[in-house]
Amino acid sequence: MKSLRWIAVGVAALAVAYYLFHGLTYVGADEFEPAGMGWLGWQMVLPIIALTLVPMVFAFTGEGILAAFTGRNSAAFRDGLVGLGTIRSFAQTGLTVNDQPQVRIEFSVEGVDGKTFASTAKMIVPLTELALLQPGVVLPVRYLPDRTDRVEVDLSGDASMAQRAMNESMIRKGITTRHKLDIAERGIATQAVVQSLSVPGEIRDGHSKIELGLAVTRPDGSTFTTRVEKFLAPSCVGQVQVGRILRVHYLPENEHEVVIALAVNA
């Protein structure tokens, strides 16, 4: 992006310089030619193009603008590390593209090493999706280890990569284990009804420990009951109230261990 901007500025400078040089050094064809003809002609188009080109290049290479047109992350961030960005706040910048506002988002980012840092991102957000940006919402972001002041929301569409980042984060915080993740990956997907709910009071990284009594439906229609312990963020507790139907996974050889699946940003 910097190269494109420098090229645009260089071309514009040459165009203006040539126009000035032509006007200042022009010698008329004869004595009857009106004064100032050196400033007229095809060369007067050059500064007009220059004054139009430079603002356009700077606008379209602005942060988040090119991504809106290409649907991809910028070249600098395309192969960056994937972290988890929790929205702290956001505000419109005042710039719009096709009536879609540009938004500046303040993130708290958890990197692949578990360390957190504050960062910002700018992106064009469709009006229909603007309401989805709320404090506390978690989004996968791309970042550069040597420049953490700016990130980009991941536009690769690779849900598995985002899920891996989320899984590693939950393991580091003690919210889940690799064994439970293995059950979620290899186990049978089915449904369960919440029969009971209790809160022992233990808290890990802002997540409350929840004990659930579940009635799980097997693929053949029969059911079995079990108890599940899970650490949940306060915003997710409403998803596990008594009577709710949950998506769960379990291994047929061990029906006592059931893993429930909940949406992060529900």
Cα–Cα distance measured from residue 154 to residue 107, given in angstroms and rounded to the nearest whole number: 13
Nearest of 129, 127, 140 to residue 168 by alpha carbon: 140
**Integer Cα distance of 88 and 107 in angstroms:** 6
Q: Answer whether residue 180 is part of any domain.
A: yes
Q: Are 31 and 83 in a shared domain?
A: no
Last residue of a domain, one of 107, 134, 162: 162
37 with 93, same domain: the answer is no
Cα torsion for 249, 254, 255, 259, to the nearest 10°?
-30
Q: What is the CATH number of the domain that holds 91?
A: 2.40.50
Q: Do residue 252 and residue 210 come from a single domain?
A: yes
Last residue of a domain, one of 162, 183, 203: 162
Name 44's Cβ contacts closer than 8 Å, sequence gap at least 6: 19
Chain centre distance of CA 43: 46
Is 79 a member of any domain? Answer: yes
For the chain, 266 residues long, give each residue's pLDDT as a single digit of tens: 667 777 888 888 888 888 888 888 877 766 666 767 777 778 888 888 888 877 777 666 655 556 655 667 887 888 899 999 999 999 998 888 778 888 999 999 999 988 999 999 988 888 888 888 889 889 999 999 988 999 999 988 888 888 888 888 888 888 888 999 999 889 999 999 999 999 888 888 888 899 999 999 999 999 999 999 988 888 788 889 999 999 999 999 988 899 998 876 55
Within 10 angstroms of residue 150's Cβ, the number of other Cβ atoms is: 15
Q: Does residue 191 sit within a domain?
A: yes
Q: Which residues contact 136 (CB under 8 A, 6 or more apart)?
A: 86, 87, 235
Is residue 212 in a domain?
Answer: yes
Last residue of a domain, one of 105, 136, 162: 162
Structural domain count of the chain: 3
Domain boundaries, position 131: 71-162
Give the DSSP letter of residue 173. Answer: T
Q: How many residues does the chain have?
A: 266
Identify whether 266 is part of a domain: no
Same domain, 121 and 148: yes
Cα 78 from chain centroid (whole Å): 12
Q: Cα–Cα distance between 143 and 117 in angstroms, integer?
A: 11
